[in-house]
A and B are shown apart, each in its own frame.
Chain A
Amino acid sequence: MADNKELTLTRIFGAPRDLVFKAWTDPKLVEQWWAPKGVTNQINEWSAHPGGKIDLVMIAGEELGPLAGQHWPMTGEFKEVQKPSKLVFTGNAILNGKEILEHLTTVTFEENGDKTKMTVHIVVTKAVMPQAGMALQGMEMGWNQQLDKLVEFVQKQQ
């Protein structure tokens, strides 16, 4: 069991703030970036309003070889939604029916000319070892294996 651990990440996106905010609140868009490639994102619910629920399952695809078919469910709840500047939500990851990870995520969006500065602050209130490591292992396999595809995708966009 971990004490509270925190992460803060910031990035500037070349997109208007309303669009970045929409990418976080419209489930059809969230579905396209939340899970690594090779992992299907099944979003049952992503209701971006205070009290709204999050209910999704990430499912490992064939590309993940021995992990194919693994399910990584996550549930949560939106605590604060201030369009277009702030989101706060809880997340609980479940593995083999047990809660292994609990976190509180705050996302803020600042206009920066025609760009958006986004800050994600995550407080991990519970991380059960080694199970939480297992879940990350699966995700890591997903993104490592798909890194070539991402590079290819970015090159096509240019």
Chain B
Amino acid sequence: MNPVTFSALAEPNRFQIVELLRDKPRAVGELVDTLHIRQPQVSKHLKVLADAGIVEVRPLANQRIYELSPKKFQEIDAWLEKYRKLWIERFDRLDALLQREKQKGVKKVKSSK
């Protein structure tokens, strides 16, 4: 995930919009009603999300229906790979800690002689 996507999602209202769209596609009016914020603000947030490639819009009759962009959300395998990497980095830090703790043990033995 790039920083643009990240900051697009970090704003609480946009976060909420994504939550709502995760359930199903919705028209702007429905988002306004559910979120209780004014339409210009909802539209502004939707534009940020669309520019970041997180949501897409399609017209339906005289409505604009927003939905989550499908390619963003087949991410689970990529996510798992990153999660694996997080753990490997953790192991590196654990290794460093273990070496420090071992050295403390050695110092204690030396100082008691």
Contacts and interface: CB of A to CB of B under 8 A. Distances in A.
Interface string B12-25: 10010011001000
Contact of B84 (A9, A23, A127): A9
A29 B100 CA distance: 11
A131 B75 contact: no
Contact of A130 (B5, B96, B99, B102): B5
Contacts of B12: 96
Interface residues of B, number: 40
A139 B83 CA distance: 10
Contact of B98 (A7, A19, A137): A19
Contacts, number: 108
A33 B93 contact: yes
B7 interface: yes
B96 A33 contact: yes
B90 interface: yes
Contacts of B82: 133, 136, 140
B81 to A, nearest CB: 9
Interface residues of A, number: 41
Binding site secondary structure of chain A: mixed
B95 A13 contact: yes
Given A13-B98, A14-B98, A66-B3, A139 B86 contact: yes
Contacts of B15: 96, 131
Interface string A113-132: 00000101010100111111
Interface of B: 1, 3, 5-7, 9-10, 12, 15, 18-19, 22, 54, 72-73, 75-76, 79-80, 82-102
